[in-house]
Chain A
């Protein structure tokens, strides 16, 4: 592999990506074969199967008594997301698994109609024809006008990745239960209101009828009743009956919460979110209930109507919409919860699992994690997790995989496990770190979590449904996870699948999707070259440029869209073009073979010739097709050659983020402030205004950008090490510059190295223009300071020189740094300017791992009792100090200034641990009397 810096000299970094990559000068045999999915999407992960939607979405369908199954709405509500995916068809599929076995209406024994409070059912469905897999959550809502007063609905989380659904079943189930509870609560409220109105109507009708009867009685005193009078009497009787019925219904619906509560003794897990609308932990159930009462009881404003004796025909009446069925407030809350679900399950399964593990591990480090981690997000999700996944007794059921698969390690408290968990965080970075790093990568026995295990599950699940020949499969429900093992047994029919084959399965899915001959484009356009290959190109930093390319592509497809939509446009647009998928769809449904001549862009990439192999028994998509075209050999080889060139750790996790991080293509890549803003917009654009805090992507993206800029800084400035040392050791770094954007950018970049005092925001001030004061150094550890050319800045500079002992000063305009000397080994590992890491997200992960290790050292140092307290009652004063020094040096392997970093972090840990919750005092300013040096480029 040609190392990056060698070639950098010949290419100008900035302009490199802007012009399309058309250098065919390389002889054919040296050129890297293009990634076969290049025209499909930028990454091999973006399309796992031939699904016709670009990313996961949530579908709400109803089995309408009038028109049958029909899709109601999708989240995100954007046609780009589901593309040409046939929602009607899929609604039919998911609603056809009707679980409504329970009787609603007049039960045989009782005189009155009885409401059944049915539990929701949770099913996993697969439709391999559509390439769609879904977690389906069925629920019923009450509607007075509906048949049997019930309307069946379902909410489905639809994904192209079956394993994602299976692995995240628990989480999906918990999240959807919350949404469902919210919806149902609102519905009960609305239903009760409806009943009350109806009762009023009936009451009024009865009064009217009664007076009419009385009048008639008076009118003819002959002693017999006219037919008219009899009819009236009958009517009155039926009204009376109806009133009783409705009263009973009202009583039933009102009694719901209590029944639910009583029942909840049996399953405490359910109770937590019976009444609470989602993500509204603050609102307790009590006021809500009383609010419910209010709604149930009196509605004085309502003027009753006369009810006609003959009800209108069933098909004449218009059924209520979902929104009408549910109290508006609850409906919006449900929608918010659903978009929240969509949000947190965005992205690749690997990514989800990794981040779940990551969060779980972070939670374990509850003593140190405040230092460098962005815990706002972690906490937010952590709470959700606790709420949503109550520990369910696993002995109730046969040991199901989904329980085992739950990748949340147990929280261990002892110091030993703390250490081990810290070490297992070390991702495969040892090549980077050299021998020292690799020595430390060892998963200790006490580690409760084995990453390998998870990978195994991935493979095993693959087999699960592959052999089943039906186009729609019920893969598992919450109640019966044994379905899984059944399909496991069927797996014996298939050839055992190596991971390679599993991967190529995706290829076969796509190739059968309707075209007999698919030729993938060999278009050399830069935008279509997968990022993997870009990584091996000799460019030092290419991430931002590739953003720009993506953005360009998106604009190309969707010119004139507002920034929030661009992200989605990118995903939908850069993949399959609409016309092509249309034809696929038609071809599929019609069962005829149609060659889409209209799509020249979408052609098979293998000029070597399509390798036709006999039909493999992967997943039989469609009975009509008997020929599977597979390019797996060619693909495999190309993939191999593609991935051999660079180590595995260069594979950018941002691939996994692509669909998750939907908003990453903002128009403004340069300024963090603006891009952050836009990402907030985008994350809120596809949901109703809600209380769900925007999490995830923005901070992911933020990290990525910060990592990228930090990487840039490290490469650009030879004095990056002392600067980072300043930050790590708690010496305030002042970045002085004229241009606000540049200063802000660097401050953001370097903020990843700033240890926090507490869970709250980092001690970072992006931009100040007034002279600094001593309190600023106490409060902020990284400050962007404006340099003003006018004499007004004299005060600023004067203050800076006066307080120079508390600060390191990085002059961005003159490219100088004034700060103490650094001779340790820690920062070179953290920030190696010759690093082969090229991506911001990779780098921020690297930083995270090194810093986590550092935190572990600080933890050990701070919490080893013998180091700080005298071993015996009376001990010479210097002894403890010498013990500390030797511990830091020998046990933690710290040299020179690294000691100060660990000492500083240990102080922060101590302060944080001993801080009274009430005292929100400012941290002390610690400093050293050490000489500073001036560094120049």
Chain B
């Protein structure tokens, strides 16, 4: 492992920012934005006129006093935010009102999941689970703000949480994997897996879970108590060693496959049932597959330009955030159908697909961009301008970059990602965002802020509605006959 970045214990689902300095404990104001790219970086920009950008209203929500890393949707109108200050805040996404502040963790929060209540239980309140670097996991009631239960018997920081709703158990992944029931009884646990710990955890069929531990994927099977055996058990079934570098992201794409992405830009699509590699994209976005070139790139201090931080998917495509770029990988065609090599000035941290063929990405450069996936008219698309591959800034790499160009032209990317708008508001890295169909977009950032972006026209209409409701309540409304 040549340039494997040291895993900090800080990260959960998006475990590693690599060598990017997280602006920890720094005042957002005094922190100028980091622009990793070169000055001649061919970043696609959009002018001030953004007719398709619906977000013409924003509301800044202030409650945190450190980096806000996680946003989780609770229901139609509520979401919770959590971050390095250890507090969890529940917000109203419509009004931006702060509903609750949950204090209990003494250190930063490393993972958060919602814990939907089951029909069988009397408690109908929305619960969330939070794991923190203080080696505790707390169950919160998001309706009352009550701390329902707290587990503090962990040997290591829990970096990821997963819920197996079918079995009504939840798993916590740190240096080992533990299985818990709803009442927070420890059902069983694995032995010590690694010091770096589990960075991601997903559920796959047949009572199995996949855990990303360093470079490898480990498949565990959960054994529920039956007539024969009394207790729960967790068995290691298989170790997959196809990745060459640390696995940064792991998602369940559909019923057939799950996808992993690594630090060196390997994208592997696995069969969900027999855990075999269905497809692998290794060097497509990496112009320098050779080890020595990678070293050279490392010298140039851009080792993360191909790291895959986040995926999102729909029925046909997986949308991959690779370094500063965005790629659309078609599952059927097993190839990239559209890409935007320099989508942002800096690493893309989170992407999400909107229902209307729109894609939203946020990045360390503090911006959020809205893209639209457009079909191209002819298969023989216009040649990608060479400037696109100028991302390294020097000729040799550029020369090498011509290889994928050819490949790309062969494959003839059939779609394009068009920038239709950007949202500028945060002064530091945008860590994550959450999309509400009815209320707009919520972004959270290292500048301690959460911003609620709204569709101004719709909000105006809603306000009118509210106005006339209030008029009616007050009896001040006179309708013309």
A-B interaction: yes
Question: Would you call B29 an interface residue if the criterion is a C-beta within 8 Å of the partner chain's C-beta atoms?
Answer: yes
Q: Among the listed stretches A96-104, A768-776, A890-898, which one makes contact with chain B, having 4 or more residues with CB under 8 Å of it? A: A768-776
Q: How far does the alpha carbon of A774 sit from the alpha carbon of B450 in the complex, in Å?
A: 11
Which residue of chain A has the shortest Cβ distance to B95 in the bound complex? Answer: A921
Q: Which residues from 794 to 834 on chain A have a C-beta closer than 8 Å to any C-beta of chain B?
A: 794-795, 798-799, 802-805
Q: Among the listed stretches B123-131, B155-163, B452-460, which one makes contact with chain A, having 4 or more residues with CB under 8 Å of it? A: B452-460
Cβ contacts A265-286/B at 8 Å (1 or 0 each):
0000000000000000000000
Give, as a whole number of angstroms, the nearest-CB distance from A477 to chain B.
43
- Which residues in A have their C-beta under 8 angstroms from that of B406? none
Give, as a whole number of angstroms, the nearest-CB distance from B409 to chain A.
34
Give, as a whole number of angstroms, the nearest-CB distance from B456 to chain A.
6
Q: Across the interface, do B49 and A913 meet the contact criterion of CB distance under 8 Å?
A: no
Q: How far does the alpha carbon of A903 sit from the alpha carbon of B60 in the complex, in Å?
A: 22
Question: Would you call A907 an interface residue if the criterion is a C-beta within 8 Å of the partner chain's C-beta atoms?
Answer: yes
Q: Across the interface, do A926 and B51 meet the contact criterion of CB distance under 8 Å?
A: no
Question: Would you call A1 an interface residue if the criterion is a C-beta within 8 Å of the partner chain's C-beta atoms?
Answer: no
Q: Which residues from 752 to 804 on chain A have a C-beta closer than 8 Å to any C-beta of chain B?
A: 770-771, 773-775, 778, 794-795, 798-799, 802-804
- Which residues in A have their C-beta under 8 angstroms from that of B466? 910, 914
Q: Across the interface, do B464 and A924 meet the contact criterion of CB distance under 8 Å?
A: no
Q: Across the interface, do A924 and B58 meet the contact criterion of CB distance under 8 Å?
A: yes
Q: Across the interface, do B464 and A803 meet the contact criterion of CB distance under 8 Å?
A: no
The CB with the most chain B CB atoms within 10 A, among A778, A805, A880, is that of: A805
- Which residues in A have their C-beta under 8 angstroms from that of B421? 929
- Which residues in A have their C-beta under 8 angstroms from that of B24? none
Cross-chain contact of A914 among B28, B32, B463 (Cβ < 8 A): B463
Q: Across the interface, do B48 and A932 meet the contact criterion of CB distance under 8 Å?
A: yes
Cross-chain contact of A924 among B57, B449, B461, B480 (Cβ < 8 A): B57
Q: Among the listed stretches A105-113, A338-346, A861-869, which one makes contact with chain B, having 4 or more residues with CB under 8 Å of it? A: A861-869
Question: Would you call A406 an interface residue if the criterion is a C-beta within 8 Å of the partner chain's C-beta atoms?
Answer: no
Q: Across the interface, do A773 and B32 meet the contact criterion of CB distance under 8 Å?
A: no
Question: Would you call B194 an interface residue if the criterion is a C-beta within 8 Å of the partner chain's C-beta atoms?
Answer: no
Give, as a whole number of angstroms, the nearest-CB distance from A180 to chain B.
40
Give, as a whole number of angstroms, the nearest-CB distance from A861 to chain B.
10
- Which residues in A have their C-beta under 8 angstroms from that of B449? 774-775
Question: Would you call A229 an interface residue if the criterion is a C-beta within 8 Å of the partner chain's C-beta atoms?
Answer: no
Q: Across the interface, do B59 and A869 meet the contact criterion of CB distance under 8 Å?
A: no
Q: Across the interface, do B30 and A805 meet the contact criterion of CB distance under 8 Å?
A: no
Q: Across the interface, do A928 and B465 meet the contact criterion of CB distance under 8 Å?
A: no
A795 touching B30 in the complex, CB below 8 Å, given contacts A778-B60, A910-B463: yes
Q: Across the interface, do B424 and A805 meet the contact criterion of CB distance under 8 Å?
A: yes
Q: Across the interface, do B48 and A930 meet the contact criterion of CB distance under 8 Å?
A: yes
Q: Which residues from 424 to 454 on chain B have a C-beta closer than 8 Å to any C-beta of chain A?
A: 424-427, 449, 451, 454
Cβ contacts A400-413/B at 8 Å (1 or 0 each):
00000000000001
Q: Across the interface, do A865 and B477 meet the contact criterion of CB distance under 8 Å?
A: yes
Which residue of chain A has the shortest Cβ distance to B477 in the bound complex? Answer: A865
Give, as a whole number of angstroms, the nearest-CB distance from A418 to chain B.
12
A921 touching B96 in the complex, CB below 8 Å, given contacts A868-B468, A907-B463: yes
Question: Would you call A911 an interface residue if the criterion is a C-beta within 8 Å of the partner chain's C-beta atoms?
Answer: yes
Q: Across the interface, do A778 and B465 meet the contact criterion of CB distance under 8 Å?
A: no
Which residue of chain B has the shortest Cβ distance to A775 in the bound complex? Answer: B60
Cross-chain contact of B50 among A415, A903, A929 (Cβ < 8 A): A929
Q: Across the interface, do A925 and B96 meet the contact criterion of CB distance under 8 Å?
A: no
Q: Across the interface, do A927 and B56 meet the contact criterion of CB distance under 8 Å?
A: yes
Question: Would you call A22 an interface residue if the criterion is a C-beta within 8 Å of the partner chain's C-beta atoms?
Answer: no
A913 touching B427 in the complex, CB below 8 Å, given contacts A868-B464, A924-B59: no
Q: Across the interface, do A922 and B60 meet the contact criterion of CB distance under 8 Å?
A: yes
Q: How far does the alpha carbon of A28 sit from the alpha carbon of B123 in the complex, in Å?
A: 99
Q: Across the interface, do A913 and B56 meet the contact criterion of CB distance under 8 Å?
A: no
Question: Would you call A931 an interface residue if the criterion is a C-beta within 8 Å of the partner chain's C-beta atoms?
Answer: yes
A865 touching B57 in the complex, CB below 8 Å, given contacts A775-B62, A919-B97, A929-B48: no
Question: Would you call B47 an interface residue if the criterion is a C-beta within 8 Å of the partner chain's C-beta atoms?
Answer: yes
Which residue of chain A has the shortest Cβ distance to B461 in the bound complex? Answer: A868
Q: How far does the alpha carbon of A919 sit from the alpha carbon of B98 in the complex, in Å?
A: 11
- Which residues in B have their C-beta under 8 angstroms from that of A922? 59-60
Q: Across the interface, do B97 and A774 meet the contact criterion of CB distance under 8 Å?
A: no
Q: Across the interface, do A925 and B59 meet the contact criterion of CB distance under 8 Å?
A: yes
Question: Would you call B384 an interface residue if the criterion is a C-beta within 8 Å of the partner chain's C-beta atoms?
Answer: no
Cross-chain contact of B427 among A773, A925, A930 (Cβ < 8 A): A773
A798 touching B32 in the complex, CB below 8 Å, given contacts A803-B424, A925-B58, A929-B51: yes
A913 touching B32 in the complex, CB below 8 Å, given contacts A778-B60, A907-B460, A925-B60: no
- Which residues in A have their C-beta under 8 angstroms from that of B58? 774, 778, 924-925, 927
Q: Across the interface, do B60 and A869 meet the contact criterion of CB distance under 8 Å?
A: no
- Which residues in A have their C-beta under 8 angstroms from that of B460? 903, 907, 910
Q: Across the interface, do B53 and A929 meet the contact criterion of CB distance under 8 Å?
A: yes
- Which residues in A have their C-beta under 8 angstroms from that of B426? 774
Question: Would you call B407 an interface residue if the criterion is a C-beta within 8 Å of the partner chain's C-beta atoms?
Answer: no
A931 touching B59 in the complex, CB below 8 Å, given contacts A803-B424, A914-B466: no
- Which residues in B have their C-beta under 8 angstroms from that of A903? 460
Q: Across the interface, do A914 and B48 meet the contact criterion of CB distance under 8 Å?
A: no
Give, as a whole number of angstroms, the nearest-CB distance from B460 to chain A.
6
- Which residues in B have their C-beta under 8 angstroms from that of A866? 480
Question: Would you call B167 an interface residue if the criterion is a C-beta within 8 Å of the partner chain's C-beta atoms?
Answer: no
A910 touching B454 in the complex, CB below 8 Å, given contacts A775-B60, A922-B59: no
Cβ contacts B86-126/A at 8 Å (1 or 0 each):
00000000011100000000000000000000000000000
Q: Across the interface, do B467 and A913 meet the contact criterion of CB distance under 8 Å?
A: yes
Q: How far does the alpha carbon of A928 sit from the alpha carbon of B57 in the complex, in Å?
A: 8
Question: Would you call B479 an interface residue if the criterion is a C-beta within 8 Å of the partner chain's C-beta atoms?
Answer: yes
Q: Which residues from 133 to 159 on chain B have a C-beta closer than 8 Å to any C-beta of chain A?
A: none
Question: Would you call B238 an interface residue if the criterion is a C-beta within 8 Å of the partner chain's C-beta atoms?
Answer: no
The CB with the most chain B CB atoms within 10 A, among A794, A804, A910, is that of: A910
Cβ contacts A864-891/B at 8 Å (1 or 0 each):
0110110000000000100000000000
Question: Would you call B298 an interface residue if the criterion is a C-beta within 8 Å of the partner chain's C-beta atoms?
Answer: no
Q: Across the interface, do B62 and A926 meet the contact criterion of CB distance under 8 Å?
A: no
- Which residues in A have their C-beta under 8 angstroms from that of B33? 798, 802
Q: Across the interface, do A911 and B56 meet the contact criterion of CB distance under 8 Å?
A: no
Q: How far does the alpha carbon of A730 sit from the alpha carbon of B28 in the complex, in Å?
A: 25
Q: How far does the alpha carbon of A865 sit from the alpha carbon of B449 in the complex, in Å?
A: 37
Cross-chain contact of A805 among B48, B51, B451, B464 (Cβ < 8 A): B48
The CB with the most chain B CB atoms within 10 A, among A869, A914, A925, A929, is that of: A929
Q: Across the interface, do B49 and A929 meet the contact criterion of CB distance under 8 Å?
A: yes
Question: Would you call B470 an interface residue if the criterion is a C-beta within 8 Å of the partner chain's C-beta atoms?
Answer: yes
- Which residues in A have their C-beta under 8 angstroms from that of B470? 913-914
Cross-chain contact of B28 among A773, A919, A924 (Cβ < 8 A): A773
Cβ contacts A116-153/B at 8 Å (1 or 0 each):
00000000000000000000000000000000000000
- Which residues in A have their C-beta under 8 angstroms from that of B464? 862, 868-869, 910
- Which residues in B have their C-beta under 8 angstroms from that of A924? 57-59, 96, 454, 459
Q: How far does the alpha carbon of A921 sit from the alpha carbon of B465 in the complex, in Å?
A: 19
Q: Across the interface, do B57 and A774 meet the contact criterion of CB distance under 8 Å?
A: no
A865 touching B56 in the complex, CB below 8 Å, given contacts A805-B424, A929-B51, A932-B48: no
Q: Across the interface, do A868 and B451 meet the contact criterion of CB distance under 8 Å?
A: no
Q: Across the interface, do A865 and B427 meet the contact criterion of CB distance under 8 Å?
A: no
Q: Across the interface, do A795 and B32 meet the contact criterion of CB distance under 8 Å?
A: yes
Q: Across the interface, do B62 and A865 meet the contact criterion of CB distance under 8 Å?
A: no
Give, as a whole number of angstroms, the nearest-CB distance from B249 to chain A.
29
Q: Across the interface, do B57 and A926 meet the contact criterion of CB distance under 8 Å?
A: yes
Q: How far does the alpha carbon of A924 sit from the alpha carbon of B453 in the complex, in Å?
A: 10
Cross-chain contact of A927 among B57, B60, B478 (Cβ < 8 A): B57
A799 touching B467 in the complex, CB below 8 Å, given contacts A775-B62, A865-B479, A925-B59: no
Q: How far does the alpha carbon of A865 sit from the alpha carbon of B33 in the complex, in Å?
A: 46
Q: Across the interface, do A774 and B427 meet the contact criterion of CB distance under 8 Å?
A: yes
Minimum-distance CB pairs A-B, first 6? A868-B464, A929-B50, A910-B463, A774-B425, A931-B48, A914-B466
Additional pairs, 14, CB under 8 Å, beyond known A866-B480, A925-B58: A773-B28, A773-B29, A795-B30, A802-B424, A862-B464, A865-B479, A868-B465, A880-B461, A911-B463, A914-B467, A924-B58, A925-B60, A928-B56, A929-B50
A-B contacts, 9 of them at CB < 8 A, read A795-B32, A803-B424, A911-B463, A919-B97, A922-B60, A927-B57, A928-B56, A929-B421, A930-B48
